[in-house]
């Protein structure tokens, strides 16, 4: 009965006219930006982040969440029609989506990915509704030592599980932590890394950093690769969207399996929707009776990754809302949005702000329904957006970013912050340094420091409290095993192979 009462409360909040309007705005602009090649959820949320500062906290989070899962829907459009993934997650969809488009079945692929996205998102929402309260029950027992260990696990997991060099990822985490400590120490009032600049006394804003690191860097990186392509408009007409009976028969099992895979990986810190999509695709290829069909337009090759990534998008909110620990860079931005609005995410959120928590959860249903209704009839609009010349589109986006950065505090210094982190983000792309761990370090670094110092105060400086409390000791043990496993894997990969036989 209590669950029904909570869902009823959430539905009332989600159906409020203002929340409905901003939910629609979020999913619309999320889909629009997701359609644009190179601009993923991080860039989308970063660019529209300043708009939410003037909204009520619940309304702001509903809009940001709509942008988040809207980009997942929109990103598949360019992957299928142009073989250019709108987001990194949709790269898997392009493997079979683009061959389907070249076969004149682009409309079928777009229609089926919309259905797959809705089903995956729905499964994720159900698990979020069921699992988050259970997780909160245990999380209420956590103290500062446990939170320190949990945040450490999140940072290390994001570095070691993500693609690329672990050393580079950890270096970016440390750089992010350093950037997060810029400004005045909340305990002693000492100034750190300000270099005499008054504008840095209050630290760097998360919106300016994210807009530069992801929005500007993505645009700079896309300038020399972006080019317009022709699209077969006949393949995206309504008459060309009807799937065959064979398409439906081949799709339902992959959708069920991918829903489970995406929900599992979405709830784990440091994994997220990209890994879920790749794993789901790989599983379907292994289980297929005709694996040679994959990469040539197999319907299972688009249904599995699209279902998995949307299920993961929803379950990623479980650790963020229930524990206050973001499992991905995008969730770190959501966490930052809560903090900007004076909301403390964590186990107390469901107790102290039930209307916000359950209103946000129920808005996911509404947002996914909006996307289902929006995407199919508006495919023609997204196609027209893709035909806009990039030399006109990208400068307009840059102007929007600068206006957004300035509007936060009417401070020109924030535009310089955007520019500096935009150049840094592009340099990191060139040198193959991941940007997501830097953002995670920036958001979680101050929390890591706060809980560590609080644990030291409560234990009178006894650092052994971190390993004598069972929960924190277990979590830190997992951190150690994760680092050890990654070290062994790195050594094995560097070991020279057997000499060639002459």
**Per-residue b/e over 353-373, b at no fewer than 16 CB within 10 Å?**
beebbbbbbbbbbbbbebbbe
Backbone dihedral angles phi then psi of residue 494, each to the nearest 5 degrees: -85, -15
Report the pLDDT value the prediction gives residue 20, as an integer from 0 to 100.
92
Are the C-beta atoms of residues 306 and 113 closer than 8 Å to each other? yes
CA distance 307 to 315: 13
- Tell which residue, 34, 118, 38, has the closest CA to residue 72: 34
The residue behind tokens 């629009």 is: 32
Between 242 and 176, residue with greater pLDDT: 176
Residue 240 confidence (pLDDT) above 70: no
Residue 494 confidence (pLDDT) above 60: yes
Residue 364 confidence (pLDDT) above 70: yes
Q: What is the mean pLDDT of the chain?
A: 79
Choose the weakest-confidence range: 185-194, 214-223, 378-387, 414-423. 378-387
The DSSP letter of residue 182 is: -
pLDDT tens, residue by residue, 69-114: 788 777 777 777 766 665 656 767 877 888 887 787 777 888 888 8
- Give 242's Cβ-side CA count (13 Å radius): 3
Residue 235 confidence (pLDDT) above 70: no
Residue 464 confidence (pLDDT) above 80: yes
pLDDT band of 502, cuts 50, 70, 90: very low
Are the C-beta atoms of residues 52 and 63 closer than 8 Å to each other? yes
Q: What is the 3-state secondary structure (H, E, C) of 186-251?
A: CCCCCEECCCCCHHHCCCCCHHHHHHHHHHHHHHHHHHCCCCCCCCCHHHHCHHHCCCCHHHHHHH
The mean per-residue pLDDT over the stretch 40-55 comes to 76
pLDDT band of 410, cuts 50, 70, 90: confident
Question: pTM of this prediction?
Answer: 0.68
Give Cα 132 distance to the centre of its chain: 18
Residue 161 confidence (pLDDT) above 70: no
Taking CA 312 as the corner, what is the angle to CA 394 and CA 252, rounded to the nearest 5 degrees?
Answer: 105
Count CB atoms within 10 A of the CB of residue 478: 15
Between 392 and 493, residue with greater pLDDT: 392
Are the C-beta atoms of residues 247 and 100 closer than 8 Å to each other? no
Are the C-beta atoms of residues 113 and 120 closer than 8 Å to each other? no
Q: Domain limits of the chain?
A: 2-490
Report the pLDDT value the prediction gives residue 122, as an integer from 0 to 100.
86
Report the pLDDT value the prediction gives residue 24, as an integer from 0 to 100.
92
Give the percent of the chain with pLDDT over 70.
83
Give Cα 123 distance to the centre of its chain: 18
The mean per-residue pLDDT over the stretch 174-198 comes to 85
CA distance 336 to 206: 7
Residue 242 confidence (pLDDT) above 60: yes
CA distance 147 to 290: 48
Residue 500 confidence (pLDDT) above 60: no
Q: What is the 3-state secondary structure (H, E, C) of 302-366?
A: HHHHHHHHHHHHHHCHHHHHHHCCCCCHHHHHHHHHHHHCCCCCCCCHHHHCHHHHHHHHHHHHH
Radius of gyration of the chain (CA): 23
Show the tokens assigned to 433.
């340094």
Residue 344 confidence (pLDDT) above 80: no
| CA distance to 205, 408, 421, per residue, from 411 (Å) | 11, 8, 16
Taking CA 256 as the corner, what is the angle to CA 360 and CA 104, rounded to the nearest 5 degrees?
Answer: 100
The mean per-residue pLDDT over the stretch 358-386 comes to 78
Name 222's Cβ contacts closer than 8 Å, sequence gap at least 6.
37, 38, 390, 394
Report the pLDDT value the prediction gives residue 39, as an integer from 0 to 100.
63
CA distance 12 to 313: 23
| DSSP bridge pairs for 257 | none
Residue 38 confidence (pLDDT) above 60: no
Backbone dihedral angles phi then psi of residue 316, each to the nearest 5 degrees: -65, -20
Helix (H) or strand (E) holding 184: strand 183-184
Residue 319 confidence (pLDDT) above 50: yes
The mean per-residue pLDDT over the stretch 225-247 comes to 64
């Amino acid at each position: 009965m209590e669950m029904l009462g909570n869902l009823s409360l959430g539905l009332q909040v989600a159906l409020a006219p203002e929340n409905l309007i901003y939910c629609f705005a979020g999913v619309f602009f999320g889909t629009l930006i997701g359609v644009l090649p190179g601009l993923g959820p991080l860039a989308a949320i970063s660019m529209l982040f300043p708009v939410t500062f003037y909204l009520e906290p619940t309304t702001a989070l509903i809009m940001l969440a709509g942008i988040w899962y809207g980009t997942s829907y929109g990103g598949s459009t360019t992957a299928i029609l142009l073989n250019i993934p709108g987001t990194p997650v949709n790269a898997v969809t392009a493997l079979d989506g683009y061959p389907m488009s070249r076969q004149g079945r682009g409309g079928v692929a777009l229609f089926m990915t919309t259905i797959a996205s809705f089903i995956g998102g729905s499964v994720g929402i159900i698990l979020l509704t069921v699992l988050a309260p259970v997780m909160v029950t245990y999380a209420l027992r956590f103290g500062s030592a446990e939170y320190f260990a949990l945040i450490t696990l999140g940072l290390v997991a994001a570095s070691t599980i993500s693609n690329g060099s672990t050393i580079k990822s950890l270096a970016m985490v440390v750089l992010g932590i350093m950037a997060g400590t810029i400004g005045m120490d909340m305990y002693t009032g000492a100034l750190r890394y300000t270099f005499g600049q008054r504008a840095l006394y209050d630290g760097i804003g998360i919106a300016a950093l994210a807009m530069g690191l992801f929005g500007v860097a993505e645009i700079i990186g896309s300038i020399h690769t972006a080019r317009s392509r022709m699209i077969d408009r006949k393949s995206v007409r309504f008459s060309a969207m009807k799937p065959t009976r064979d398409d439906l028969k081949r799709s339902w099992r992959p959708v069920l399996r991918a829903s489970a895979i995406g929900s599992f990986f979405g709830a784990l810190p440091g994994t997220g929707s990209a890994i879920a999509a790749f794993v789901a695709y790989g599983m379907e290829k292994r289980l297929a009776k005709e694996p040679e069909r994959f990469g040539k337009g197999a319907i299972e090759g688009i249904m599995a990754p699209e279902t998995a990534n949307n299920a993961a998008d929803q379950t990623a909110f479980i650790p963020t809302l229930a524990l206050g620990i973001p499992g991905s860079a995008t969730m770190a931005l959501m966490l930052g949005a809560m903090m900007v609005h004076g909301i403390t995410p964590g186990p107390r959120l469901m107790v102290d702000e039930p209307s916000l928590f359950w209103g946000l959860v129920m808005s996911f249903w509404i947002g996914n329904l909006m996307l289902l209704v929006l995407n199919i009839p508006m495919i023609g609009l997204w196609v027209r957006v893709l035909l806009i010349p990039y030399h006109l589109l990208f400068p307009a986006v840059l102007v929007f970013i600068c206006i957004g950065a300035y509007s936060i505090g009417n401070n020109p210094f924030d535009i310089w912050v955007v520019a500096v982190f935009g150049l840094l983000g592009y340099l990191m792309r060139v040198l193959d340094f991941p940007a997501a761990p830097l953002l995670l370090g920036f958001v979680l670094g101050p929390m890591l420091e706060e809980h560590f110092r609080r644990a030291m105060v409560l234990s009178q400086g006894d650092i052994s409290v971190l390993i004598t409390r069972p929960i924190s000791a277990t979590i830190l043990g997992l951190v150690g095993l994760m680092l050890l496993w990654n070290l062994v894997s790195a050594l094995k990969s560097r070991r020279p192979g057997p000499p060639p036989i002459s």
